[in-house]
Amino acid sequence: MKKFSLLLAIAFAGVSCTDHNIDAIDLQQEGDAIKKLVTVTYRDALAASNADGVTSAFTGDGVVMGPASPTASGSTQLKSTYHGIFGAVGLDLNFKIDEMIVGKEYGFVRSTSAGTLTVKANGATAPEENREVFVVKKADDQWKIARYLYNKMGTLSQAIGTDVIENKASSYTEADRSAINSLITATYSSALASSDAAAVSGLFVTDGVLMAPDAPTMKGAAAIKTTYESVFSAIKLNLAFTIDEIVIDGEYGYVRSHSGGTTLINATSQTVPASYREIFVVKKVDGVWKIAWYAYNQPS
């Protein structure tokens, strides 16, 4: 199954809204605060095997989706999850941020991490590398991690610098939530089922980003189209998407979802079960919602 995870791109959909406007923000100040949250606060709590410290870096309803692990939601589950991790291994990782989208209430972070994992039972060490998407939220004038999904990217490639993008002010309505829901559960789902790489890539913004497990990060419509052509030459996807939440903040928003169904392996005509979790960052472009970033992994 794992070798097909490169291939599987899935889902997303909805919850949250009302008319809302974003005031001007200090992009430098807010970007620096978000960077510190990920590269210092969260990183140092991991290095110290401090489950309480990690949990305090999250919002009270924070969610973590690690590959081959159940979704942990809320402070109690988060603390239990990290206690379990730290009981087995130590993690010494350094995070490099590729791109950051900063809004008034929410921010979105694409990053990679590299370092070592130490098995506490015997002291053995091994390299540890991951690629992450963080959704961060500002509450009581402090940025916290709200949603966190990570996967492997095959051969790690870390950023030298960080692109910081302002999430510009924009109002939204219930119709925007419906449009985002339709984008994933109808349009994207249908393009997948039809194995139509051009239709799938057309749903991304021009500089859209695809982060499929065990595969390089693909950026730009042409690269994404080529990736899906390769996927569809190997498999056919039959997936249903369930929306966990949609949140809109200015001209960007995010969708957290999970999906399930089957994968048909073209070479053998074998059908296998498929199950995924996704985070989509979406952007409104010329009045149309499109996929800006897309990352996913498998819960088991």
**Fold designation for 27-166:** Nuclear Transport Factor 2; Chain: A, (3.10.450)
Q: Rounded to an integer, what distance in angstroms lies between the CA atom of residue 248 and that of residue 281?
A: 10
pLDDT for the residue 14:
36
Q: Rounded to an integer, what distance in angstroms lies between the CA atom of residue 119 and that of residue 156?
A: 22
Is the CB of residue 50 less than 8 Å from the CB of residue 90?
no
pLDDT for the residue 23:
56
Q: Return the closest-CA partner of residue 276 out of 224, 241, 227, 234.
A: 241
Q: Rounded to an integer, what distance in angstroms lies between the CA atom of residue 189 and that of residue 183?
A: 8
Task: Give the distance from CA 220 to its chain's centroid.
Answer: 17
pLDDT for the residue 300:
81
- Rounded-to-10 torsion of CA 289, 291, 295, 300: 60
Half-sphere exposure in the Cβ direction for 97 (13 Å, CA): 22
Q: Return the closest-CA partner of residue 281 out of 241, 250, 260, 259.
A: 250
Regions of the chain where pLDDT drops below 50: 1-22
Q: What's the burial of 158, exposed, middle or buried (CB within 10 Å: 0-12/13-18/19+)?
A: middle
pLDDT for the residue 160:
86
Sheet of strand 72-73: strand arrangement: 72-73, 58-65, 142-151, 125-139, 106-119, 89-102, 163-166
Question: Could you check whether 2-19+170-297 and 27-166 share the same CATH topology?
Answer: yes
Is the CB of residue 147 less than 8 Å from the CB of residue 63?
yes
Which architecture does CATH list for 2-19+170-297?
Roll (3.10)
pLDDT for the residue 21:
40
Residue type, 59: T
Residue type, 220: G
Token pair for 99: 């791109």
pLDDT for the residue 267:
97
**What are the residue boundaries of the structural domains of the chain, listed by start?**
2-19+170-297, 27-166
Is the CB of residue 259 less than 8 Å from the CB of residue 239?
yes
pLDDT for the residue 11:
32
Q: Return the closest-CA partner of residue 184 out of 3, 13, 35, 52.
A: 13
Half-sphere exposure in the Cβ direction for 65 (13 Å, CA): 24
Q: Rounded to an integer, what distance in angstroms lies between the CA atom of residue 236 and that of residue 194?
A: 8
Given the structure tokens 């990690």, which residue do they identify?
A: 54
The beta strand positions in 40-105, using DSSP E, are 58-65, 72-73, 89-102
Is the CB of residue 279 less than 8 Å from the CB of residue 261?
no
pTM of the model: 0.91
